[in-house]
Amino acid sequence: MNYIGEHLLPGQIGHFFAVLSLVVSLLATVTYALAFRTADPMAKQSWLKLSRGLFFVETISVLSMFVTLYYIISNHLFEYKYAFTHSDLSLQVEYLLACFWEGQEGSFMLWSFWHCVLGWILIWRSKEWEAGVMMVVSFAQFCLATMVLGIYFFGNKVGSSPFVLSRNEGFFDSAPIFKDVMTGHLRADYLTQLKDGFGLNTLLQNYWMVIHPPILFLGFASTIVPFAYAMAGLFSRKHEWIKPALPWASFSAAVLGTGVMMGAAWAYESLSFGGYWAWDPVENASLVPWLTLVAGLHTNLIYRNTGYSLRPTYFFYIISFILVLYSTFLTRSGILGDTSVHAFTDLGMNTQLLLFVLVFLLPALFLYFKEYKKIPSIVKEENTYSREFWIFIGSLVLFLSGIVIIAKTSVPVFNKLFGTNIAPPEDAEFAYNQIQIFVAIVIGLLTAISQYLKYKDTPKAFFGKKVWIPTLIAVLISLTISFFGDVHYDKKGPGFLFAIHMAIFAAVYAVVANAAYVWLGMKGKIKAAGASVAHVGFGLVLVGILISSSKKTVLSWNTTGITPLQGDPKAKGNAAGDPAENLTLFKGVPTDMGKFMVTYAKDTVNPLDRKRYFEIDFSAKNGGEKFQLYPDVIKQNKGGEGFSANPAAQHYWHKDIFVYITSFQENNREDTTTFRNRETKVGDTLFYGNGFIILHKVSVNPPEQKAKILPGETALFLDMTVISKDGRRYPVTPGIALQGMQLRSLPDSVVSQSLVLKFNKVLDQNTGKLEIGIKESGAITDLITLKVYEFPMINILWLGVVVMVIGFGMSIFQRVKAAGRGALRVS
């Protein structure tokens, strides 16, 4: 059947290039392997020339797939499953790219794209190592190509194509609107009924998600370069690859670390768990390869300078790439679906994803252990007063830290493989923090002192002379923070608090000692101080994490006694948490919030991004600053219920005030609450849900109420006071107006208490007995509930990330420059 309005050509083009990519990447693997194995220079050049041509075709194929898929998404061709499930007509242009990496297929294509970019740099720069390194890269490209193939072999589906049609995936089988009434088959004009797509996940509609995934996947992709060099070294039994691999390892560590912290920035700005890191399994899966990669980078430096630690360098570079593949399995297999907000949904590719890991893991480990004894190693133990000894200890600590993290993260995998039912800890964050706090202490101290040690041996007098000044400064600064910085995180006991203060010292020590080393050790040669600058940045990251997390303060304590929040505060996905930490604001009513008076001023819906923005006015009680914040909510899609909250923050140089909406209520629904009639008289007290009401007196035609009284009417008003549980007083004057036999009610309300009072009638004039109606209804006002945190010194964290990346960049530049000079000397 021909279906009206379908655009089949883009899908056919995309699928053609997917198949072509698979074929040429496999051929490139074979030809590069032949070039690598041959000893004949002429044959080698011939195979290399052919391999480069094949890799060029591979690059064109990947770029063509990328452009084709973007065309499908940007033109809203909903006949294609990828556009239908990941975009919609109202999606802003800047988020169209984010549709790529929402789905697994697009993110695999992004990964493959970066391999192409890195591959051409390797072809340009790797010289005699090109064949061995590009053999591994091309094979990885082949594996990634299988992931987007979407073809059945012997009844088994290989990959998931982004170019399949929605109708072929059964999307319309259960929807009568798309069926022909007579035949029961899909209508030829089904696209006329297909008005819109499912849209991009609301959590991804943030500018960070346009830039964070490409950087993170560049980091993932770049880990293959040190791995490929290591594999080429094992195959050839030549170990000179260490030198060209070093700048690549630095580049990979810089980019992957940046990508991880961009994810933290996205979480801080888009998620409502109140922070930038929650030890989420997907976060962990990205962090662990970075830890092992940094460990390998440092053992690489040891070998370059002393000849020690070549075997650990092989291992760390191999395991870093394997951990990237394992993180791919964790996040894409669906196994983390119940434990992570970031994980992909299961596409039924678990076996293929597992094979992706094993096809690299098993040969790499087999070859490593087979060649282990042939890898050069110095038998003599390192001197404990040498730089290489303590750098190796630091690398080992980083590796062990990663093992602990990945083991805890892999609990769902263990449960599935072995049929166990290991429950997650009640406080998941503390389960990680209680171990990693000691890692921070050790790494901070080693980062501080290691550069003051010389390779092979360091005279004790020399070491003491150099290190005592930065040590004293670090002690003074950290003691100042501890005693005057109000770091009193005692939720986990005094032992953990002491560990926090020790970690603060270690982090400050890392910053001060490395900054001082530029002058004490390198005589002010800042251009050669990339490692010290990177270590300063790392120390600043630790300082920012420790202070901002341990001093994170809740500002929004519930002072009104009113909360619309329900449910278990510890339940998964409950962003509100403890209701006592959430303040309810009534529209237009200033409310006390500690140092501030806070007012919910108004809200508006932006038709462009479909978000509801709430204007929250903050006014300092001391008459100082005033500012507005605009947190927003957007309706959940992809089967989610309710609304997703996006925080807003007021940034200062020394802190952030961070706010997000935990619930909101509009006065646009029918009020079904009825009045409860109560008898009372002057001096009586009546109770309502959040306090009590006192009747002071009854006034006839009071002058202050004359605007409410019509000519010829006689009015009675009740002078009453509403007193809430928190002691607030609200004057209220309900009344009635009489004219002949006509009675008109004049109710009054206290909006912030959701309270309406109505004077019904006089029951007994002699005894003064009256009847009033009391109604407590949330439908009388707009209200919101919000959560507000203060993050002290959080900008130290972001500054540290920037400084660390600059340090990595300086190191890469110096090593590439030095390699260039070495090549000139050889020529």
d(CA 506, CA 447): 9
Name which residue leads in pLDDT, 288 or 674: 288
Q: In this structure, are 385 and 288 located in the same domain?
A: yes
768 assigned to some structural domain? no
Q: In this structure, are 112 and 155 located in the same domain?
A: yes
The pTM of this model reads 0.85
Q: Which of 182, 200, 218 is the last residue of a domain?
A: 200
Q: In this structure, are 317 and 465 located in the same domain?
A: no
Band (24; pLDDT cuts 50, 70, 90): very high
Task: Please report the pLDDT score of residue 236 as a whole number.
Answer: 94
556 assigned to some structural domain? no
Distances (CA, A) of 90 to 74, 81, 195, 604, 608: 11, 18, 11, 18, 7
Q: In this structure, are 47 and 127 located in the same domain?
A: yes
Band (7; pLDDT cuts 50, 70, 90): very high
Task: Please report the pLDDT score of residue 272 as a whole number.
Answer: 56
559 assigned to some structural domain? no
Q: In this structure, are 601 and 520 located in the same domain?
A: no
Q: In this structure, are 28 and 153 located in the same domain?
A: yes
Name which residue leads in pLDDT, 517 or 152: 517
Name the packing angle between helices 130-147 and 104-125 (round to 10°).
170
Q: Helix or strand or coil: residue 312?
A: helix
Report pLDDT digits (tens) over 40-71.
999 999 999 999 999 999 999 999 999 999 99
- pLDDT of 822 higher than 60: no
In sequence order, what are the beta bridge partners of 604?
A: 613
Q: In this structure, are 380 and 311 located in the same domain?
A: yes
Question: Is 782 in contact with 588 (CB distance < 8 Å)?
Answer: no
Instruction: Find the mean pLDDT for residues 718-744.
Output: 88
Task: Please report the pLDDT score of residue 419 as a whole number.
Answer: 80
In which domain, by residue range, is 715 found? 676-753
Report pLDDT digits (tens) over 749-780.
887 788 889 999 889 988 999 999 998 876 66
Report pLDDT digits (tens) over 583-607.
988 888 788 888 899 999 999 988 8
Q: In this structure, are 165 and 237 located in the same domain?
A: no
217 assigned to some structural domain? no
86 assigned to some structural domain? yes
Q: In this structure, are 467 and 533 located in the same domain?
A: yes
Task: Please report the pLDDT score of residue 573 as a whole number.
Answer: 57
Task: Please report the pLDDT score of residue 671 as a whole number.
Answer: 66
Please tell me the total number of residues recorded for the chain in this structure.
827
Band (534; pLDDT cuts 50, 70, 90): very high
Q: Residue 9 has which token pair?
A: 């050509």
Q: In this structure, are 253 and 382 located in the same domain?
A: yes
User: Total structural domains in the chain?
Assistant: 5
Task: Please report the pLDDT score of residue 665 as a whole number.
Answer: 79
Name which residue leads in pLDDT, 564 or 164: 164
Q: Residue 244 has which token pair?
A: 């060209």
Listed as own residue / partner, the contacts of 636-642 with beta carbons closer than 8 Å and 24 or more positions apart are: 636/202, 637/198, 637/199, 637/200, 637/201, 637/202, 638/198, 638/199, 638/201, 638/202, 640/202
211 assigned to some structural domain? no
Report pLDDT digits (tens) over 140-197.
999 999 999 988 887 788 889 999 998 888 777 667 777 777 777 888 888 888 888 8
- pLDDT of 523 higher than 60: yes
Q: Which helix (H) or strand (E) holds 632?
A: strand 632-635
Give phi and psi for 527, each to the nearest 5.
-65, -30
- pLDDT of 505 higher than 80: yes
Instruction: Find the mean pLDDT for residues 558-576.
Output: 68
Task: Please report the pLDDT score of residue 825 as a whole number.
Answer: 47
764 assigned to some structural domain? no
Task: Please report the pLDDT score of residue 151 as a whole number.
Answer: 87
- pLDDT of 27 higher than 60: yes
Instruction: Find the mean pLDDT for residues 406-426.
Output: 83
Q: Residue 645 has which token pair?
A: 């909250």
Q: In this structure, are 420 and 435 located in the same domain?
A: no
Task: Please report the pLDDT score of residue 472 as a whole number.
Answer: 96
Share of the chain above pLDDT 70, in %: 93
205 assigned to some structural domain? no
Task: Please report the pLDDT score of residue 179 as a whole number.
Answer: 77
Q: In this structure, are 341 and 390 located in the same domain?
A: yes
Report pLDDT digits (tens) over 101-118.
888 899 999 999 999 999
Task: Please report the pLDDT score of residue 572 as a whole number.
Answer: 56
Task: Please report the pLDDT score of residue 827 as a whole number.
Answer: 38
